[in-house]
Structure 1
């Protein structure tokens, strides 16, 4: 989880709901004989960022590795399927910089699940709301089958 994600939901809550370990720090090493973000990348079958904020999309498109999500992304083996599901304010989503960053990721082999038009957290109505969870699950299942 990025710092921003942790502002919305605690790692403990996500761990309880998912019944899986939650990683929050690129420098936290659980085992002395391993490098956490490298091990996570090696174990990854599909890399999904949902919701993908404008900041996370920018970090991924720049090849940054200063949080656990971007560090794992940079360490992914060739062939791992990568998907983002953007979610942000309409103006942020439609901003040419964000669109350029998304296009960079598409050029690098990422797939994207388009945000939907809806009432956003800021009170605006427009494109930027996270796709519905069942749609995200269906998309990921389709990638796994194909």
Structure 2
């Protein structure tokens, strides 16, 4: 049986540090995990950490092609069995809902075949999550086939308490495995 290929998109949230454990857990479960990062997410966690845990190159720049014989963002999209964006900021959600492809995460997401499952795990301040624009963008993404892994209610890094904390890695991994098992049927 072919190893399942997961694209893990990381956007610039304080919860980006949790992507290390998530990458490690998915890799230990036998998935090939290619990490895609926005430039600003690299200020929260280094690509080297994620490369070490995934045992694969980390992709941070659309304009950097690792091989001259292929277009990196297209090749990554063609191999994908699933796209997971965790954490997903209001910014990345808005870009995806609007069709903006100006970083590695959004460009690869736009290059995916429609049938590839897409999971999005928001992480942001409660008021940003509740903002009507964010909620409208999430509805739009659901119409495009994305499934939301809803954020938790918790004490947030900014000091506010409310819904906006990244779902637990256990919840995210369960969603990944459920989605991939449904796709295998």
**Could you say whether these structures have the same fold, taking a TM-score greater than 0.5 normalized by the shorter chain as the test?**
yes
Correspondence 1:44 to 2:84: no
Moved over 4 A (4+): none
Quick one: distance in 2 between partners of 1:81 and 1:102? 15
Q: Which runs of 5+ in 1 are unaligned?
A: none
Correspondence 1:19 to 2:55: yes
Other-structure match for 1:56:
92
Quick one: distance in 2 between partners of 1:106 and 1:124? 27
Other-structure match for 2:109:
73
2:179 aligned to which of 132, 143, 146: 143
1:7 aligned to which of 31, 37, 43: 43
Correspondence 1:113 to 2:152: no
Quick one: distance in 1 between partners of 2:145 and 2:78? 18
Correspondence 1:87 to 2:113: no
Shift of 1:18: 2.0
Correspondence 1:124 to 2:160: yes
Q: Report the TM-score, using the length of structure 2 for normalisation.
A: 0.77
1:143 counterpart SS class:
helix
Shift of 1:64: 1.1
Aligned residues: CA RMSD: 0.7
Cα deviation code 1:11-49 (max 9, x no counterpart): 111111222210000111111111110001001100000
Shift of 1:78: 2.4
Q: Which runs of 5+ in 2 are unaligned?
A: 1-36
2:158 counterpart SS class:
coil
